[in-house]
Amino acid sequence: MSLILILEQILNGLQFGVMLFLMAAGLTLVFGVMGLINLAHGALYMVGAFAAAIVAAWTGSFVLALVASLAAAAAAGALVELLVIRKLYDRDHLDQVLATFALILIFSEGTRWVFGSFPLFLDVPSYLSGPISLPGGIEYPLYRLTIIAIGLVVAAGLFWLIARTRIGIQIRAGESDREMIAALGVDISKLYTLVFALGAALAGLAGALVGAIQSVQVGMGEPVLILAFVVIVIGGIGSIKGAMVGALLVGLTDTLGGVFLPQLFGLFMEPASATSVGASLASMLIYILMAAILLVRPSGLYGGQH
């Protein structure tokens, strides 16, 4: 268990965390501003990945594929918001859960109908493939490093948007008092559609970026969605900062736990049992972390009034 291995795994954890942040940011924004819990967010991740795969196959350009993922996911998000989501703002959470669950069914089966069950291919572009040498003697895949970079840039952009722009002010005001901003003359419907589309775009981008490393197929968004929920519960629903902290925590815990727990158990168990016990525990680790945090802070680390 060398230092290099540890550092590599930390980078992997960061990469995972940053992608989780992109998912979680959208979820937590939508909840913070509109009070809506959206189970269909994973479907938007999938839409982004599919759009990227199609455009990449068609044009050969990875950059265009990423742009497509943003656009397609945003468009899908806006459409869904206009047709369905907007009817749910005044409903209770149960209705929102059910309606967005229904959307998952429609999106998933619809995608399967159009594209079939087999995965599409999205390749890492040649100029990003291969390892890059990092200080310390680490050879790390350039693409994963790029993902981390893109994720951090987007995160910074999001923080800037919220803190420095007029839209950001409206978003923050909307989070604290929904009725108030309507009274102040802000066009609520447009704001809501914009926020929803923004969240969708982030999810779509994450889907496209990850789709190049894993596969692009129906249902790819769901494991990520659940993790995103864990992230925002840990971080505090409605808080972008919480989403960042939560995402990094979850990403690192999951990655490092998955690698090191079996090794830890290997210290005093035979290899076969160690791997299975370690792997089992690792898969539950994030949820245990979530439960532990909630015991102490029932509203999450940065959660407030919701």
Task: List the one residue from 10, 75, 82, 97 that touches another protein (CB under 8 A).
Answer: 97
Specify the residue, 204 or 300, whose C-beta has the smaller distance to another protein.
300
Binders of another protein among 221-260, rule CB under 8 A? Answer: 222, 226, 229-230, 232-233, 237
Q: Is 294 in the site for another protein (CB under 8 A)?
A: yes
Task: List the one residue from 113, 135, 267, 270 that touches another protein (CB under 8 A).
Answer: 113
Q: Is 177 in the site for another protein (CB under 8 A)?
A: no
Q: Is 95 in the site for another protein (CB under 8 A)?
A: yes
Q: Is 280 in the site for another protein (CB under 8 A)?
A: yes
Q: Is 44 in the site for another protein (CB under 8 A)?
A: no
Least distance from another protein to the Cβ atom of residue 245, Å:
17
How far apart CA 135 and CA 263 sit, in angstroms, is 26
Specify the residue, 165 or 283, whose C-beta has the smaller distance to another protein.
283
Q: Is 180 in the site for another protein (CB under 8 A)?
A: no
Least distance from another protein to the Cβ atom of residue 296, Å:
11
How far apart CA 200 and CA 30 sit, in angstroms, is 10
Binders of another protein among 75-94, rule CB under 8 A? Answer: 84, 87, 91, 93-94
Least distance from another protein to the Cβ atom of residue 35, Å:
9
Q: Is 98 in the site for another protein (CB under 8 A)?
A: yes
- Residue numbers at the binding site for another protein (CB under 8 A): 31, 37, 84, 87, 91, 93-95, 97-99, 101-106, 108-110, 112-113, 222, 226, 229-230, 232-233, 237, 276, 279-280, 283-284, 287-288, 290-291, 294-295, 298-300, 303, 306
